[in-house]
Amino acid sequence: MRSTITVPPNYLERPISEKSSRKQVTALVAVAVVVWGLTVYLSTLMDVASPVRFVALAAHILSMVAAFGAVLLVDWHGFLWLLGRRALSETVRLDGAATPLIWGGLAGMMITGIFLEPNLASPLTMAKLFAVLVLTLNGLMLIPLMRRLVRLSPITPFSGLPVGQRIHLMLGAAISQAAWWTAIIVGFINAGT
């Protein structure tokens, strides 16, 4: 007896036109840039006591682990789909489950970052902050593509995508990994100084 893989409904499956999707992503990008700028600005106003800073740092690290762990899992699953070792439906389903962890963890990182009193005069700190902005914007830019993937046959192979979509996925994954690793490595370097 053969079982059928079904993909549960999620936010990506709502029918939305390409034009509407572009407008939505443009609005989300604007909001993300404003929120990022606001968190950076608010961090300059904080004078935090040691216990509060310690709790904020712990929550910051936990948020980073949740978000980056989910990103790694989705990217690994996507890589297995690229190799033909997973079905598109599995990858889309995992992405739908991981999305709240990724965005929730990213929001947690930004909120707790306000209380970490970053040294904005440090080029390393600015590199980390810009890496976080880049990974946020990159994630938003992948939303329309993920919506297109959800509408495809659950057994569509990576090679079955149009070239532009394959490039978009590969570039998005590369940017994501580069930005996450930059933010994490710089964060740990800064923590040691």
Question: Residue 101 and residue 26: Cα distance in Å, rounded?
Answer: 22
Is 11 a domain residue? no
- Asked if residue 125 belongs to a domain, the reply is yes
77 torsion bin: left (phi>0), alpha (psi -120 to 50), beta (else): alpha
124-179 per-position pLDDT tens digit: 999 999 999 999 999 999 999 998 999 999 999 999 999 999 999 999 999 999 99
Phi, psi (degrees; rounded to nearest 5) at 76: -65, -45
Give the residue from 95, 123, 81, 102 showing the smallest Cα distance to 7.
95
Give pairs for 127-132: CB < 8 Å, separation 24+: 127/182, 127/186, 128/182, 128/183, 128/186, 128/187, 128/190, 129/36, 129/40, 131/179, 131/180, 131/182, 131/183, 131/186, 132/36, 132/106, 132/179, 132/183
Q: Which of 11, 27, 30, 9 is nearest to 19 (CA)?
A: 27
Q: What is the pLDDT of residues 47-81, one digit of tens each?
A: 888 899 999 999 999 999 999 999 999 999 999 99
Task: Identify the domain containing residue 64 by its residue range.
Answer: 30-192
Examine residue 15 and state whether it is found in any structural domain, yes or no. no
Q: Report yes or no on 12 lying in a domain.
A: no
**How far, in Å, CA of 181 to CA of 179, rounded?**
6
pLDDT in tens, 76-121: 999 999 999 999 999 999 999 999 999 999 999 999 999 998 999 9
pLDDT on residue 19? 78
**Does a structural domain hold residue 78?**
yes
| Number of domains the chain contains | 1
**Comparison of pLDDT for 19 and 117, the residue scoring more:** 117
pTM: 0.86
Distance CA 32, CA 109 (A): 13
